[in-house]
A and B are shown apart, each in its own frame.
Chain A
């Protein structure tokens, strides 16, 4: 296990990777994670495995304390598993050096949070532009891409508004634009509808579903919200750190 690429067969062309079997977008293999609180050992995830092979919306479901956030933290490489492997596009996350982590997160991942987490002093446009800051783009290019993305989430008419001047749903749209403006393959969301009323939550989920299809972005969403599970292409159900569905 752990081979990043299958050995090339004699007939295959080395310059034609499309002809090789693609690694899954995300592979979680026998992952175990525990925390220590004083002398107490808390098992957060036990021998968890699953994989995502196509750009999908994946819901991580389960009661409080079941290990959803723990799993997302491992996917974002905020933390490493005690054992097992998390591979993104075939790359073992544990192999990414701390120095390369910023670049990895900026290029490959996007985040959407329950509390939106927009910078309150910046406008919607500036918040989205900020996600492009680490990239070697001109100011004009950043602006252009940020505007295009905001239009895509239906916020083109609120570019100059500060988060405080936007509703929760609008803020979450801006946050989704910020997560997607760098065109990551992968967006991680922890309870993205947790702070929204049900009508707004439904609209946000509709947007996520649209973006998943048009931008080929994979969404992994930890949630208690049954609507997310309805919408998701697949649901991974956790209980006490173990997969039960």
Chain B
């Protein structure tokens, strides 16, 4: 206790030097916290937009559905029996918020003179909108309607429509092969244009009501169900639980498996953080080390006096360690406080950043404040400071007492 007090007094005595070190530590922690707040916000945003843009947390199909290889369309589609069984089972699950049926197909879309290929989705407009509506933006036209008598309507990607030269209200022909291998075509009216901000999907996306898609493919099967959960954090656990319940006939894919980009971005950020964090930790280590060394020689006489009084070099070394972590903790906490204020201010300012890779619209700079990261990060630099003081003060044992005492 008395050593702790002495350490505090020494920090105070070192005045400007302590202040300089505190500044380094404070800014270091501030930078780390803002960076992690940015990463967390970006990743959370990416996760939620990935999930809510239509992926869902879990997709459930027949075993083989997600391998990407089939001899004919809907070879691994869900039969009526499967559909009834799955829906009943999923909708009774408390963790499940929405269950959305999907039919995936591909083919050609044409307005007569021009023809493009597409990646199509048969959807249930009402259920799709309930689950994912908030995230779907149309650049023109109207969404597919839930209780529309006319099922021959389609949403086209914005870029696809531009290349075909069609507007909402125009008619296009959609061609695909049926489940038995024949070619089939239907005429549909363009209801609206999909704008996702992702160039690729704006070129290839085409959505039809499930009934129209099933008629085109001459089937009553579905490809899979997309499942939206109440809580993203429970995604993996829920997937495991439902998988067990449903048995081997079905295959479940989690959103992370369906969106490998997320994992790549996560890894990228993680690496960046490690590099950035190491640089700051090194900086703090060197600063504290330098200060300890300077202090050590400056206080040689004082240390010699304590040693002459029979106070062990370990005890004196503990004094330096105390000085390291005390100063570290105080400045780190100030840094954390500044980071908290900066987070609030930055979020209020609504600063717009240029579009991230794979996007064509800008995003608002947003920072997250996650206590589960703030606490350990804020404790890291004080720990580094303590280690630096401990490491550097090891010279103390070798300091001869005599030289400290000789009259100047």
Interface size on B (CB < 8 Å)? 25
Contacts of A73 in B (CB 8 A): 402
With an 8 A cutoff between CB atoms, is A157 at the interface? no
Closest-CB distance, B111 to chain A (whole angstroms): 86
Q: A129-B2, A190-B407 are in contact. Are A117 and B312 (CB under 8 A)?
A: no
On whether the beta carbons of B406 and A133 are closer than 8 Å, the reply is no
- Of the listed stretches B6-14, B271-279, B282-290, chain A binds B6-14
Contacts of A104 in B (CB 8 A): 310
On whether the beta carbons of B405 and A79 are closer than 8 Å, the reply is no
On whether the beta carbons of B308 and A105 are closer than 8 Å, the reply is yes
Closest-CB distance, B117 to chain A (whole angstroms): 80
On whether the beta carbons of A130 and B2 are closer than 8 Å, the reply is yes
On whether the beta carbons of B9 and A122 are closer than 8 Å, the reply is yes
Q: Which residue of B lies closest to A107 (CB)?
A: B310
On whether the beta carbons of B309 and A111 are closer than 8 Å, the reply is yes
With an 8 A cutoff between CB atoms, is A76 at the interface? yes
On whether the beta carbons of B407 and A111 are closer than 8 Å, the reply is no
Contacts of B309 in A (CB 8 A): 105-106, 111, 130-131, 178
Q: Give the docked Cα–Cα distance between A221 and B305 (Å).
A: 17
Contact flags A218-230 to B (C-beta < 8 A → 1, else 0): 0000000000000
Q: Give the docked Cα–Cα distance between A199 and B302 (Å).
A: 27
On whether the beta carbons of B407 and A191 are closer than 8 Å, the reply is yes
With an 8 A cutoff between CB atoms, is A186 at the interface? no
Closest-CB distance, B396 to chain A (whole angstroms): 13
Q: Pick the contact of A194: B2, B312, B407 (CB < 8 A).
A: B407
Contacts of B408 in A (CB 8 A): 115
With an 8 A cutoff between CB atoms, is A136 at the interface? no
Q: Give the docked Cα–Cα distance between A244 and B115 (Å).
A: 119
Contact flags B260-296 to A (C-beta < 8 A → 1, else 0): 0000000000000000000000000000000000000
In A95-150, the 8 Å CB interface with B consists of 101-107, 109, 111, 113-115, 117, 119-122, 126, 129-131, 133-134
Q: Pick the contact of A103: B305, B306, B310, B400 (CB < 8 A).
A: B310
On whether the beta carbons of B305 and A117 are closer than 8 Å, the reply is yes
Q: Pick the contact of B305: A113, A129, A191 (CB < 8 A).
A: A113
Q: Which residue of B lies closest to A126 (CB)?
A: B2
Closest-CB distance, A122 to chain B (whole angstroms): 7
In B300-318, the 8 Å CB interface with A consists of 301-302, 304-312, 315
Contact flags B42-76 to A (C-beta < 8 A → 1, else 0): 00000000000000000000000000000000000
On whether the beta carbons of B401 and A114 are closer than 8 Å, the reply is no
On whether the beta carbons of A76 and B13 are closer than 8 Å, the reply is no
Contacts of B400 in A (CB 8 A): 78
Closest-CB distance, B17 to chain A (whole angstroms): 15
Q: Give the docked Cα–Cα distance between A160 and B300 (Å).
A: 25
Closest-CB distance, A13 to chain B (whole angstroms): 34
Closest-CB distance, A206 to chain B (whole angstroms): 22
Q: A107-B310, A120-B13 are in contact. Are A78 and B401 (CB under 8 A)?
A: yes
On whether the beta carbons of B310 and A102 are closer than 8 Å, the reply is yes
On whether the beta carbons of A115 and B13 are closer than 8 Å, the reply is no
Q: A111-B305, A113-B305 are in contact. Are A119 and B6 (CB under 8 A)?
A: yes
Closest-CB distance, B408 to chain A (whole angstroms): 7
Q: Which residue of A lies closest to B13 (CB)?
A: A121
On whether the beta carbons of B312 and A121 are closer than 8 Å, the reply is no
On whether the beta carbons of A134 and B310 are closer than 8 Å, the reply is yes
On whether the beta carbons of B402 and A78 are closer than 8 Å, the reply is yes
Q: Which residue of B lies closest to A142 (CB)?
A: B2
Q: Give the docked Cα–Cα distance between A162 and B390 (Å).
A: 28
Q: Which residue of A lies closest to B312 (CB)?
A: A102
Extra contacts besides A130-B2, A134-B315 (5): CB < 8 Å: A102-B312, A117-B301, A119-B302, A121-B6, A121-B10
Interface residues of A (CB under 8 A from B): 69, 73, 76, 78-79, 101-107, 109, 111, 113-115, 117, 119-122, 126, 129-131, 133-134, 178, 190-191, 194
In the A-B complex, the 9 residue pairs with the smallest Cβ-Cβ separation, listed nearest first, are A106-B310, A121-B9, A105-B310, A114-B407, A117-B305, A78-B402, A102-B310, A102-B312, A111-B308
Q: 17 A–B contact pairs at CB < 8 A?
A: A78-B401, A79-B402, A103-B310, A105-B308, A107-B310, A113-B407, A117-B305, A117-B405, A120-B13, A121-B13, A122-B9, A130-B309, A131-B309, A133-B311, A190-B405, A190-B406, A190-B407
